[in-house]
Structure 1
Amino acid sequence: MADQEKDLKGLRDKIDSIDGKILELISARAAVAQEVARVKEAAGATDAFFYRPEREAQVLRRIMSRNDGPLDDEEMARLFREIMSACLALEEPVRVAYLGPEGTFTQQAALKHFGHSAVSVPMAAIDEVFREVESGAVNYGVVPVENSSEGVVSHTLDSFIHSSMRICGEVVLRIHQHLLVGENTREEKITRVYSHAQSLAQCRKWLDSHWPMVEKVAVSSNAEAARRVKGEWNSAAIAGDMACELYGLKKVAEKIEDEPDNSTRFLIIGNQDVPASNEDKTSIVVSMRNQPGSLHRLLAPFHCYDIDLTRIESRPSRSGAWNYVFFIDFTGHRDDPKVQYVLKEVEAFASELKVLGSYPKGVL
């Protein structure tokens, strides 16, 4: 036992020494961040441009490529994400609007992308997030765009059609849904389950199997579902970890989503064009004339220049019955020569072409 205690003391002393070095290096990094802020202010940089999406993506990719373990790449990147977030807050705290209320998966996505030193501002609806960013009240917004099992979020796509906002980044969040109850809930007397409509759909099979007779009530968000359950004795909620912790609920069942790889993709919107990061995506919206072969003609340039399409989605156009607009995501940056050729060809025959933004592929 004496030898064991001696060994442990030696290891703990080693950890203390390493912690001291980490502290010194983080402080040195923070001091450099303050110097960066002074240089940018002298050059007249606006508040929003203290945050550089392409630069942060490059840093995180480099960290992951140089990581030798034992922590895995994503865990190491998350640690550096928080260091970068804290250092950026010394320059200028980033204000981020998200689809609220507090405790939603969208807030979780915002904190995953910007770190916990960002100031997150909940909004009641997706179009309000767009307006808040457009007005300059916040620097960025975070909105959901598609779920791996339930498809696109149409309100987000529709908001882009008439908005001047540009996409500055993306983040993919693994979605785990839990069945939650409050401290006063009588589990044997549960008669209804609250959740957002998409979450109810994501857990449809599980609910039908385990709670077939319970009323399923769709509400504005998972966080709202958790808030309601907090004050009721005969209801449960389907929500994630953040809402569970925020409202002090208990998990009756964990990870009840029907699809094991259930994920949601969120977009970062802002007022800036983002330079290339070397691993980028571009999103466009195209209005096409209603004539035979128009879709084939739209897609042909991408095939010709060997550009990978990652998503294509059609939405009804408000310009006329049976006309459609197409939302397209593809690899590459709008400044890439091949992408410029494709955009030029598409613009030549499309009714309207709008580039929503070029942005780094999601790192975390």
Structure 2
Amino acid sequence: MTEEKPVVAFLGPKASYTHQATLDSFPGCQYTLSPQITIEDVFASVQDNTASRGVVPFENSTNGSVVFTLDLFADLNARYPDILVCGEAYISVSHCLLGRHTEALSRSTHQLPSIIESPTSSGAATPTANIPNPGIPRTKPTQEIGHIKKLYSHPQAWGQCKSFLSTYLKGVERQDVSSTSRAAELVAADETGTSAAISSIIAAKIHNLDILARGIEDRSDNTTRFFIIKRASPPSSLSSSHPQTTAPSSSAESKNGKEKPWKSLISFTVHHSNPGALAHCLAVFEPFKLNLTSINTRPSGVAPWNYIFFVEIDGRREEGGEGAVNAALQDLAKVSRGWRWLGSWESRLK
């Protein structure tokens, strides 16, 4: 009898950058990979045990954090109380403009259109009051793109390709979709041929689309970090007695040895009316030599202009209530309104 493979949910469809990150961590021959329509669908699949692991985008080196993922970790409606981060993956992201080239170009593939020499493609976008010194795009279109009337992509992609878009496609309508690969699907289904997608070369091959421009991202080192999530094991001695804390434990986050660096993600809220409340919370990590590597905020849901804070630190939470991270969390409980440990994992940052 064939043993059933573990299911890994990811933000799909296939050919998305999240799919690439999933394959990087979970070989398809050993796992059943399950594409999901939204990031929340991935969280839900892991929370209800439909999938043993999930892969979601967390932040991009050019455009910052993925707010959809942060909001799910904030979990204001308590739908995903058992979700923990247990790993990460880094994927280099090179965007292409995908669509259909014009009939004229299809008959003459050796001649580039006049757009390369047109005023709108002079190498920089037109200065405006808001952007007096626009960036120069790293690349030019390789096909005519004057027929493009609508663009599809994931919201993160717009911020990663600002220079190219403001130079060559300024004023073209933009439509947010769930992933870059979904954008390619929509363009492939567009019979008018007047839409384009910011997506990957892999998506172009899968959906038989023309590559109208390559490498349109603003930076050559453009990279997205993805989190691998799981459902927490039953609570043990790691759980805090603080009434607003959820701190489940898992042996996967408690390995001995110092051969590789570890990271931890923690969220907390403060009493915004107390002077220095945020400073007091951030200060609890320094005495234990725990380096804070990032901080993010999202609305807390308590009141307007109140926030939930996310901090990422070097170090891991150990079983038995021992170690620097546990000690810092005990102090955090004394100065915060509430906190939640969201997981520890081995760093894969090279």
Does TM, scored on the shorter chain, surpass 0.5? yes
Matched residue, 1:348: 334
Q: How far is the alpha carbon of 1:185 from its aligned partner?
A: 6.9
Matched residue, 2:37: 124
Matched residue, 1:221: 179
Change (3 A) 1:312 1:142: same
Residue type of the partner of 1:202? Q
Matched residue, 1:101: 13
Change (3 A) 1:93 1:294: same
Residue type of the partner of 2:26? F
Q: Residue 100 of structure 2 contacts residue 194 of structure 2 at CA under 8 Å; is this kept in 1?
A: no
Q: Which shifted more, 176-185 or 349-358? A: 176-185
Q: How far is the alpha carbon of 1:104 from its aligned partner?
A: 1.4
Q: Residue 38 of structure 2 contacts residue 178 of structure 2 at CA under 8 Å; is this kept in 1?
A: no
Q: How far is the alpha carbon of 1:318 from its aligned partner?
A: 0.9
Distance 1:320 1:157 in 2: 18
Change (3 A) 1:322 1:230: closer
Q: Give the number of equivalent residue pairs.
A: 275
Q: Residue 86 of structure 2 contacts residue 253 of structure 2 at CA under 8 Å; is this kept in 1?
A: no
1:149-197 CA-to-partner distances (Å, cap 9, x unmatched) read 2221122112123322111111111111011124787745333332222
Matched residue, 2:90: 172
Q: Which shifted more, 294-303 or 211-220? A: 211-220
TM-score scaled to structure 2, two decimals? 0.73
Matched residue, 1:280: 262
What stretches of structure 1 move > 6 A for 4+ residues in a row?
183-186
Matched residue, 1:339: 325
Distance 1:184 1:268 in 2: 41
RMSD of aligned alpha carbons: 2.2
Higher relative contact order (CA 8 A, sep 6+): 2
Change (3 A) 1:333 1:292: same
TM-score scaled to structure 1, two decimals? 0.70
Q: How far is the alpha carbon of 1:132 from its aligned partner?
A: 0.8
Identity of aligned residues (%): 35
Change (3 A) 1:114 1:203: same
Q: How far is the alpha carbon of 1:212 from its aligned partner?
A: 3.2
Matched residue, 2:195: 235
Residue type of the partner of 1:271? R
Where does structure 2 lack aligned partners over 5 or more consecutive residues?
105-143, 233-249
Q: How far is the alpha carbon of 1:322 from its aligned partner?
A: 2.8
Distance 1:193 1:124 in 2: 19
Residue type of the partner of 1:246? I
Say whether residues 1:249 and 2:167 are aligned partners.
no
Distance 2:341 2:59 in 1: 19
Q: Counting helix residues as a fraction of each chain, which structure ranks higher?
A: 1
Residue type of the partner of 1:137? T
Change (3 A) 1:337 1:213: closer
Among 185, 198, 218, the residue aligned to 1:258: 218
Secondary structure of the residue aligned to 2:253 is coil
Residue type of the partner of 1:198? Q
1:111-131 CA-to-partner distances (Å, cap 9, x unmatched) read 111123222111122221111
1:22-37 paired onto structure 2 within 5 Å: none
Distance 1:183 1:94 in 2: 42
Distance 1:276 1:185 in 2: 60
Q: Residue 140 of structure 1 contacts residue 270 of structure 1 at CA under 8 Å; is this kept in 2?
A: yes
Distance 1:242 1:320 in 2: 44
Distance 2:325 2:44 in 1: 30
Q: How far is the alpha carbon of 1:103 from its aligned partner?
A: 2.1
Distance 2:159 2:337 in 1: 36
Secondary structure of the residue aligned to 1:189 is coil
